[in-house]
Amino acid sequence: MSRTVDDQSPHHAAAAALLVLGAATLGESGGRPMGPRIRAVWKGATLSAPAYPVRCTAGDNLAIHVAVTTAPPGHAMVVDVGDEEEFGYWGEVLTTGAESRGLAGLIIDGGVRDVTALEAHGFAVFSTTVALRGAAKKAAGSVGAPATVGGVEVHNGDWVVGDADGVTVIPGGALDAVLAAGRARAEKEEGLFAALRDGATTVGLLDLDPSLVAVS
């Protein structure tokens, strides 16, 4: 199940186009791939939306609770939890609140829980781990200010695209350029697929040097 911005949003066309291209193609077309530790929590989850960055104190999710009340509808929360990832910073309660406010999904460099419930809700979540231990709710944080998640600095208004391959961040000011480069790459790959089906090899098509590899 996919999550994009609402059909009535001016961002809807861009979100749909990004999701069609996918995180891998976009990551090779000017987007910034997050580290591979950030993965979909449930199989089939996909996400394409403007980012709303959040920073938490390690072991505490107060800033996430606040972000659910302040994030614009159609946005995805992109959360840095510091160096304590093995907490369940997010679960079904926050998911229910986020859905009621029209939020698109969550990307978090930390743990979540209630995975079966998240899948049942169809709420797209990408995280580093699943963890049972609950987080505190009393420490400082920030919402809307830049946050580094999955090794990538994310700003308010950037875009995030997540699927089975991982998550890619697209700077807001580069959206049109990355979309154009992604479409060109996808078109080129279609030509490669056709040539491979006709008997060509990747060695020839990519002009690789096979002499560097010892073949017994």
Each residue's pLDDT tens digit in the chain (216 positions)? 555 555 545 578 899 999 999 999 999 999 999 999 999 999 999 999 999 999 999 999 999 999 999 999 999 999 999 999 899 999 999 999 999 999 999 999 999 999 999 999 999 999 999 999 999 999 999 999 999 999 999 999 999 999 999 999 999 999 999 999 999 999 999 999 999 999 999 999 999 999 999 999
Q: What angle do CA 37, 41, 47 make, to 5 degrees?
A: 90
Q: What angle do CA 52, 55, 61 make, to 5 degrees?
A: 105
The token pair at 208 is 């690789």
Q: What angle do CA 6, 107, 15 make, to 5 degrees?
A: 30
Q: What is the pTM of this model?
A: 0.92
What the chain holds in terms of domains, given with CATH numbers, is 2-179 (3.50.30.40)
Strands (DSSP E) found in the chain: 2-4, 32-33, 39-40, 46-56, 76-80, 105-112, 124-130, 141-143, 147-149, 152-154, 159-163, 166-170
The token pair at 4 is 């994009």
Cα radius of gyration rounded to whole Å, the chain: 19
